[in-house]
Amino acid sequence: MQENENPIAESAVSPAPVPAEPPARATLWGALSWARDLVFSVLIAVILIVFIYQPVKVEGTSMMPTLTDQERIFINKFTYHYGLGNIVRGDMVVFWYPLDTSKSYIKRIIGIPGDIVKIAGGEVYVNGNPLMEDYVPDEYRDRVSWGPERVPADRYFVLGDHRSSSNDSRAWGFVDRKYIYGKAVFVYWPLDKMGPLR
């Protein structure tokens, strides 16, 4: 018994040829598509830079060895600004220098509001407990003592990782919450140090 053949299936695999667009029209359409994609990409980049991530250059040695002079990093401005994340101990934050708000500093959060911070011979204590600071090699420590002092409401105690080379809360006091505008999250230059920050 011979099976019935389906002539529609045979002809469906060979669609009618589509007439080619005139060369000028195809070129114009391609240029418009390229311009649209470019505008969209620029818009996304502007939104990311203005509202979420901002590239900054590190100047100075106060955060060595975590960050070195002239490194380029991204900071996240969105998390703190819109209250989606809390500032916690250990965060590396960018803020307006309290004694001259035309300058920005980057330091590490050591004490949050309500903490009692004490430094004894370079050893940091928070609420009576020694703070584990594996990001501070021994050769970057100093033997300075400070406090104890309680961190006031809406303020933070910050230190640089390079303790003997850092101008920080030990010298000029606490940072007001309103001055903190970003969290350091990623190194993008130099390439050999590219990666997330902790």
- What is the pLDDT confidence band of residue 107, given thresholds at 50, 70 and 90? very high
Return the higher-pLDDT residue of 23 and 183: 183
pLDDT reported for residue 133: 95
Domain boundaries, the chain: 54-196
The alpha-carbon radius of gyration of the chain (Å, integer) is 28
pLDDT reported for residue 9: 39
Q: Are 162 and 124 in contact (CB under 8 A)?
A: no
List, by residue number, the catalytic residues: 62, 107
Q: For 111-147, what is each residue's pLDDT tens digit?
A: 999 999 999 999 999 999 999 999 999 999 999 999 9
- Which residues touch 71 (CB under 8 Å, ≥6 apart)? 57, 58, 187, 189, 190, 193
Domain 54-196 class?
mainly beta
Which of the given ranges, 50-54, 55-59, 160-164, has the highest pLDDT on average?
160-164
- What is the pLDDT confidence band of residue 10, given thresholds at 50, 70 and 90? very low
pLDDT reported for residue 44: 72
Q: Mean of the pLDDT values across residues 32-39?
A: 80
Q: Smallest Cα–Cα separation from 106: which of 161, 145, 51?
A: 161
Return the higher-pLDDT residue of 152 and 53: 152
Residue type for position 174: F
Q: Report d(CA 111, CA 115) in Å as an integer.
A: 6
Mean pLDDT over all residues of the chain? 85
Q: Is the pLDDT of residue 41 over 80?
A: no
End-to-end CA distance of the chain: 76
Q: Report d(CA 163, CA 96) in Å as an integer.
A: 20
pLDDT reported for residue 36: 80
